[in-house]
């Protein structure tokens, strides 16, 4: 942690990592792969929903209710891990196995167990970081309670690192064994390993010297880990919030369904394309408006390089400040009727929010490099879900259940799901 992007405070190392991450994630072949994978994983998700909530016997028993938020977590986990590492992830299958009484997912159980363990280790690692941030080294060494926690954290980190290192090793070997005229996979790891080598289509021997050297395994591990962490819960919780807002704003939902039906006509099964995603402007407006009203990331940390005046007060260099995203997204100086949920505000021709007033993806040098991928996932998932299914909240009066830490996470979203007529 701290060696990749997210918590990396060494500017030179961050800049180097960021260059490769951005180059890989913004490439057309990566976006293509993301759309292809979204279709594939959605088919898998549907096969599990069908067995658990939609088939006839289940409907008769009135078991069609589900907590949809963990499904979104598993879906985005599988998508991000596969896109970043080039190795299939099976956490949806693991979740299905956990819920299903009799049938098991048609996936090799060893692979399912392995990915479930890996994702569990990542979550455990994130929780455990608190112990290193807030508990002093003295307590961690000499107080058995903290020492046990700390030892467990280190064991877990070793397991996680070994797992990522093994993936990197396999990918390096695969690249080495693939003849130069044969195509490679489109995942991020492959792109980064081959960057600045003759396999790179943009290969240019005389470039910026600082970014010409190949990446080391610990650097690769750092950015793959950060990408998995930053790209999963952000997207999964945002789609849960979208479902919640759509259920409370039937006019918005109707307009969205009209847009989706206009684009897909009656075809509820053809794969969605990047072009469809580009044309779903109202869906994109909904993503932005939900994120403005109820942003999954609630604040951004920044450190002042020089003394500065902020909010009418003088602050010394190296002061750490937190930018309150909610306050900016609801500020009357920037937004007309800021508390009104109104996706149409984004549909006004040439509408652009005032500078730095819409920061769902942050801003400046550190702006989220995954924003294009996030939009592909969110708009794509909205189209795949709503062209085929009717999704309603079980209890419209119930408040949205959330828990706030670094992110605002949806802890439960009970819905009823059925096929649209
Ligand atoms: C709805 C989805 C998402 C939201 C709301 C979101 C939001 C953010 C925010 C607010 C930041 C901090 C930016 C700043 O400090 O100015 C950030 C950073 C980051 N995001 Fe995202 N993100 C999302 C999806 C993704 C995805 C899909 C990825 C791809 C893997 C990703 C990768 C990253 C990375 C690596 C950083 C750290 C960048 C750095 O420090 O240089 N994010 N994101």
Annotated binding site for heme: 368
Overall number of domains in the chain? 1
Residue 2 resides in a domain: no
- Gap from CA of 289 to ligand 1 centroid (Å): 18
Residue 169 resides in a domain: yes
As a dihedral over the C-alpha atoms of residue 77, residue 299, residue 412, residue 286, rounded to 10 degrees, the angle is -80
For the CA of 296, the nearest atom of ligand 1: 5
CA angle 403, 407, 409 (to 5 degrees): 40
For the Cβ of 300 lying below 6 angstroms from any atom of ligand 1, the answer is yes
Mean pLDDT for the chain? 91
- In 93-244, the DSSP E strands lie at none
With the most atoms of ligand 1 within 8 angstroms of its CB, the residue from 370, 372, 378, 406 to mutate is: 370
Q: Which candidate, 34, 66, 37, places its Cα nearest to that of 50?
A: 66
Expressed as residue numbers, the domain containing 352 is 11-419
Q: Which candidate, 150, 306, 164, places its Cα nearest to that of 222?
A: 164
pLDDT at 405: 82
For the Cβ of 343 lying below 6 angstroms from any atom of ligand 1, the answer is no
For the Cβ of 362 lying below 6 angstroms from any atom of ligand 1, the answer is yes
Q: Which candidate, 117, 114, 137, 135, places its Cα nearest to that of 125?
A: 117
User: Using alpha carbons only, how large is the chain's radius of gyration in Å?
Assistant: 23
Query: Atom 8 in ligand 1: which residue has the minimum CA distance?
Result: 361
For the Cβ of 188 lying below 6 angstroms from any atom of ligand 1, the answer is no
For the Cβ of 16 lying below 6 angstroms from any atom of ligand 1, the answer is no
Residue 1 resides in a domain: no
For the Cβ of 128 lying below 6 angstroms from any atom of ligand 1, the answer is no
For the CA of 362, the nearest atom of ligand 1: 16
Residue 5 resides in a domain: no
Residue 85 resides in a domain: yes
pLDDT at 133: 73
Annotated binding site: 368
Residue 3 resides in a domain: no
Could you give the C-alpha distances from 341 to 251, 282, 288, 289, 401, in angstroms and in order? Answer: 11, 14, 11, 7, 19
Find the CATH number of the domain harbouring 135: 1.10.630.10
For the Cβ of 370 lying below 6 angstroms from any atom of ligand 1, the answer is yes
- Measured CA to CA, the distance from residue 421 to residue 418 in angstroms comes to 9
Q: Are 137 and 150 in contact (CB under 8 A)?
A: no
**Residues whose CB is less than 8 angstroms from the CB of residue 245 and which lie 6 or more positions away in sequence, other chains included:** 252, 286, 289, 290, 293, 294, 341
Residue 253 resides in a domain: yes
For the CA of 8, the nearest atom of ligand 1: 40
pLDDT at 212: 72
Ranges of the chain whose pLDDT falls below 50: none
For the Cβ of 379 lying below 6 angstroms from any atom of ligand 1, the answer is no
pLDDT at 205: 61
Place of tokens 């940390």: 301
Query: Atom 3 in ligand 1: which residue has the minimum CA distance?
Result: 234
For the CA of 7, the nearest atom of ligand 1: 40
pLDDT at 61: 55
For the Cβ of 297 lying below 6 angstroms from any atom of ligand 1, the answer is yes
pTM, two decimal places: 0.93
pLDDT at 316: 96
Q: Are 93 and 112 in contact (CB under 8 A)?
A: yes
Residue 175 resides in a domain: yes
């Amino acid at each position: 942690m701290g060696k990749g992007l997210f918590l990396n405070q060494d500017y030179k190392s961050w800049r180097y990592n960021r260059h490769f991450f951005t180059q890989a994630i913004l490439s057309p072949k990566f976006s293509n792969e993301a759309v292809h994978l979204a279709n594939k994983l959605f088919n898998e998700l549907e096969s599990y929903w069908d067995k658990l909530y939609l088939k006839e016997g289940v409907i008769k028993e009135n078991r069609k209710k589900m907590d949809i938020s963990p499904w979104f977590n598993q879906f985005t986990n599988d998508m991000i891990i596969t896109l970043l590492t080039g190795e299939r992830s099976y956490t949806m299958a693991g979740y299905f196995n956990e819920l299903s009484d009799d049938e098991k997912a048609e996936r090799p159980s060893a692979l399912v167990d392995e990915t479930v363990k890996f994702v569990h280790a990542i979550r455990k690692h994130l929780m455990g970081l608190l112990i290193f941030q807030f508990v002093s080294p003295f307590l961690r060494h000499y107080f058995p309670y903290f020492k046990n926690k700390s030892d467990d954290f280190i064991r877990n980190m070793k397991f996680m690192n070994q797992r990522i290192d093994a993936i990197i090793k396999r990918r390096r070997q695969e690249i080495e064994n693939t003849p130069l005229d044969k195509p490679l996979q489109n995942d991020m790891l492959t792109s980064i390993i081959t960057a600045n080598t003759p396999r790179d289509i943009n290969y240019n021997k005389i470039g910026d010297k600082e970014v010409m050297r190949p990446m080391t395994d610990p650097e690769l591990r750092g950015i793959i880990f950060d990408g998995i962490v930053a790209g999963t819960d952000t997207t999964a919780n945002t789609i849960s919030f979208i479902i919640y807002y759509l259920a409370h704003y039937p006019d918005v939902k109707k307009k969205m369904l009209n847009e989706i039906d206009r684009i897909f006509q009656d075809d509820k099964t053809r794969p969605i394309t990047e072009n469809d995603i580009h044309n779903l402007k109202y869906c994109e407006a909904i993503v932005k408006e939900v994120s403005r009203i109820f942003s999954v990331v609630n604040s951004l940390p920044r450190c002042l390089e020089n003394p500065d005046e902020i909010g009418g007060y003088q602050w010394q260099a190296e002061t750490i400040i937190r930018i309150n995203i909610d306050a900016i997204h609801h500020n009357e100086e920037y937004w007309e009727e800021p508390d009104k949920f109104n996706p149409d505000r984004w549909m006004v021709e040439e509408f652009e929010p005032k500078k730095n007033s819409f920061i769902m993806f942050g801003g400046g040098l550190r702006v989220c490099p995954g924003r294009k991928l996030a939009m592909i996932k969110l708009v794509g998932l909205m189209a795949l879900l709503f062209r085929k299914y009717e999704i309603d909240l079980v209890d419209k009066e119930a408040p949205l259940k959330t828990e706030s830490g670094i992110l605002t996470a949806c802890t439960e979203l009970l819905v009823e799901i059925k096929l649209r007529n």
